[in-house]
């Protein structure tokens, strides 16, 4: 039986969809079977993040309507990673119970079920998190995002005992070193959440690339690999963002030597 991870944030635009897609890829590199599920029904982005939008034939709404079974609706990204799409605008036509049943069925097929949840804490959010075994709360180092991460964590705690952890996305190490950006430890303390990982700001990700399409050795790939390893092996390593800064510092020093 697999585990069901809900990826949430409260605030929109912090990188949930990007994180879901790339964590799926990182886990698939460990030879784990993974399905990423579009939980933002009606405002799907996960298919775009994985560049699979032209390969969708059936979606979650077709499963609900009995037009196809769960397996038939899945779209393959690689041999280990699949997408459960939800592209129709019939947002309110999928009930929480139906969503729960489908994601539960996916746990029988895959080791990891990663659900990309909608922003906010309204109906669509509750439907998406209902079957979660664990929650990963994604936030960026901004006050609004941190406050919403804390609030979403409170909402989750209020109705079940789902295990929660924090991922700080888009960290710029130079700004942390200059005391211009909050550090991951500050953010973990403010949200009262255990830190699962840190992901640096990376232009190629902002331009829509996934980690497997970045050919050069790159910090963001390492950061995702560490998180996948933490999840799979129960480790508690955190990507050493300070090394990015010390590398730059070192380069500057060597110029002036």
Sites of contact with ligand ADP (CB under 6 A): 9, 12-18, 45, 169-170, 199, 201-202, 205-206, 220
Answer whether 33's CB lies under 8 Å from 110's CB: yes
Q: Is 133 helix (H, G, I), strand (E, B) or coil?
A: coil
Residue with smaller CB distance to ligand ADP, 144 or 206: 206
Query: If contact means CB under 5 to 8 A according to the sort of partner, which of Mg ion, ligand ADP, none does residue 162 touch?
Result: none
Report whether 169 contacts 19 (CB < 8 A): yes
Nearest to 60 by CA among 106, 108, 110, 17: 106
DSSP class of residue 7 equals: E
**CA-to-CA dists, residue 85 to 18, 40, 73, 116, 255, angstroms:** 15, 10, 7, 11, 51
Stretch that binds Mg ion, among 10-18, 105-113, 177-185, 213-221 (CB under 5 A): 10-18
Q: Which is nearer to Mg ion, 21 or 176 (CB)?
A: 21
Closest separation in Å from C-beta 215 to ligand ADP: 17
Rounded Cα–Cα distance for residues 103 and 82 (Å):
13
Which one of Mg ion, ligand ADP, none is in contact with 170 (Cβ closer than 5 to 8 A by kind)? ligand ADP
Identify the CA nearest to 37 among candidates 116, 136, 137.
116
Place of tokens 């970045």: 214
Q: Closest approach of Cβ 196 to ligand ADP, in Å?
A: 15
Ranked by CB distance to Mg ion, the top (closest) residue is 17
> Which of 9, 17, 191, 219 touches Mg ion (CB under 5 A)?
17
Minimum separation from the CB atom of position 15 to ligand ADP (A):
3
For Mg ion (CB under 5 A), the number of binding residues is 3
Residue of the chain from 3, 33, 45, 111 that contacts Mg ion (CB under 5 A): 45
């Amino acid at each position: 039986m697999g585990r069901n991870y809900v990826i949430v944030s409260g605030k929109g635009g912090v990188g949930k969809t990007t994180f879901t897609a790339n964590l799926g890829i990182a886990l698939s590199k460990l030879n784990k079977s993974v399905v990423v599920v579009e939980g933002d029904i009606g405002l799907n982005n996960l298919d775009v993040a994985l560049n699979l939008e032209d390969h969708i034939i059936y979606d979650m709404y077709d499963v609900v309507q009995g037009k196809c079974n769960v397996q038939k609706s899945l779209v393959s990204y690689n041999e280990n990673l699949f997408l459960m799409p939800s592209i129709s605008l019939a947002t309110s036509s999928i009930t929480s119970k139906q969503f729960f049943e489908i994601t539960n069925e996916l746990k029988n097929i895959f080791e990891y079920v990663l659900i990309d949840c909608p922003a906010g804490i309204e109906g669509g959010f509750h439907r998406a998190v209902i079957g979660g075994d664990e929650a990963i709360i994604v936030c960026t180092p901004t006050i609004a995002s941190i406050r919403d991460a804390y609030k979403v964590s409170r909402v989750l705690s209020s109705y079940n005992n789902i295990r929660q952890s924090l991922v700080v996305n888009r960290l710029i190490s130079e700004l942390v070193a200059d005391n211009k950006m909050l550090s991951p430890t500050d953010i973990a303390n403010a949200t009262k959440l255990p830190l699962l990982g840190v992901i640096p700001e990376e232009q190629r990700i902002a331009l829509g690339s996934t980690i497997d399409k970045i050919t050069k050795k790159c910090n963001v790939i390492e950061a995702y690999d560490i998180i996948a390893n933490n999840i799979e092996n129960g480790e508690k390593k955190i990507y050493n963002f300070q090394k990015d800064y010390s590398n730059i510092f070192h380069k500057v020093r060597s110029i002036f030597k």
